[in-house]
Chain A
Amino acid sequence: MTRLRFERMILLAALTALGIVWILFSREEVSRSRAVVLTEAPIVGHLAPDFTLATPLGEEVSLTDFVDRDGDSGQPVVLNYWASWCGPCRMETPEFQNTSLKFKNRVAILGINQGESAQKVTEFGISYGLTYPLLVDEDSAVNQKYGVNSLPTTIFIDRKGVVREVFVGILNQAVLEDRLNRLLEEG
């Protein structure tokens, strides 16, 4: 019994040593930028496709106004795709408004409408008292570019312009804060 126990202990120690070697071998360079090898695509881990859309007042807004692909001066961006006829979108809109106030000047929240006129977008913004930018995408070109086929869809983009999460469905303020805190903590 003692010999068997000794052999088992040796085996366990050997397995532990092998495991540690494998963990050391698998270690990654933390500072590496995964986006370097990736192309533009609305997919997690890729560079978010750039776009330029106008607010109902005609002011043009681009993704690259906020993110900085080559430097560290960018800020995380949240793209929230919505439409005025979409019930779940209306439910989550106040959560986005509260979050935008809480993270003002640290995170950009952009509400991208799907296929509606500037007037509809304006009416929606006024009815909910929204202060974050609502963008008009009347021909849904940017919606298509991002492959949005279900509303609401929310896309989290880090300060380097890399897509970090694509979320289909309703979000609440707590989840938004959770994701944004993580993006901000990454520095």
Chain B
Amino acid sequence: MYPVINLGPFVLPTAGLLYILGAWFSLSWVEKAAKQLGLNPERVYGVAVTALVGGLIGARLTFAAIYWQAFQHNLLGIIWPLNTGYNLWGGLVIGVAAGFFYGRYHQLHPASTLDALAPGLIFGLIVVSLADFLAGPGFGTLTRVPWAITQYSMRRHPVQVYEILVGLAALFVWWRLRDQRTVAGQAFLMSVSVYSGGRLLVDAFRDNAWLSGGGYHILQIISLAVMIVCLYLAARLGETAVQRRQDSHQENH
């Protein structure tokens, strides 16, 4: 709808602008969350920055490796222009690995660190949906519901708005659990499982979904797997916490 923003003589890509603002806000939120959870904010912020930068570099290098023939006579092309040409999976793997090793090196508690990273991660995903809504190629399925929006001259489900609402619900869960969690890692696992469950639900209303050969929504399959794993781990963490409490109670008596 608004692929570019015109500011006088300058034409700025809406999505790029949102990604930069989103990254800045997400990182700030992670730092604040770490402080609220009693962690070292600088170290947790370091994990987030390392994962983000590692992810971007990894995504670019993976893309360059896949299309090496196009880059081998133009090595400068690997570092410029950077407005496109990234491989999602390469970025994810290298970003997560970079954040993990940074955390290990600084001996951060993994579950507590994930609790602090959760709002930044979810907010980042909300920004991706917002950028897709304002400037991306995504659109919802045809519908006659009263809240439908006119997109590409048809009445459609505002699927990216649904995704944003799912993200806000997950952030609400995180905010509720932030101070009431019974065990470290619970806020991360529960907010991510709510987000995954929501995306599983709303991706059905996306008309340009990423499909498997059989026509299944790949994002729904990934979301279901993530949701079940997170809920299972949250249940296990809860059991361990209860067991520990019982053991210490018995020792006291």
Contacts and interface: CB of A to CB of B under 8 A. Distances in A.
A19 B216 CA distance: 12
Contact of B139 (A4, A22, A45): A45
Nearest to A11: B231
Interface stretch (B47-55, B62-70, B115-123, B180-188): B62-70
Contacts of A19: 197, 200, 220, 224, 227-228
Interface in B61-111: 63-64, 66-67, 70-71, 74, 77, 81, 83-85
Interface residues of A, number: 42
A12 B229 CA distance: 9
A106 to B, nearest CB: 16
B207 A34 contact: yes
B42 interface: no
A5 B77 contact: no
Nearest to A91: B81
Interface string B129-161: 000000001010010000000001110000000
A174 interface: yes
Interface stretch (A71-79, A116-124, A160-168): A160-168
A159 to B, nearest CB: 18
A171 interface: yes
Nearest to B63: A174
A174 B71 contact: yes
Interface residues of B, number: 48
Contact of B216 (A16, A23, A37): A23
A25 B220 CA distance: 11
A52 interface: no
Contacts of B152: 38, 41, 43-46
Given A1-B243, A15-B227, A168-B13, A8 B220 contact: no
A33 interface: no
B63 A26 contact: no
A70 interface: no
28 contacts: A5-B235, A12-B232, A15-B231, A19-B200, A19-B224, A20-B224, A22-B204, A23-B200, A23-B217, A26-B203, A26-B217, A28-B209, A30-B215, A37-B142, A37-B154, A38-B152, A38-B154, A43-B152, A44-B137, A46-B152, A46-B153, A168-B4, A168-B11, A169-B83, A170-B81, A171-B84, A174-B70, A174-B71
Given A1-B242, A19-B220, A27-B216, 6 more contacts: A26-B203, A45-B152, A150-B11, A168-B3, A174-B64, A174-B77
Closest 4 CB pairs of A and B: A174-B67, A26-B204, A174-B70, A44-B137
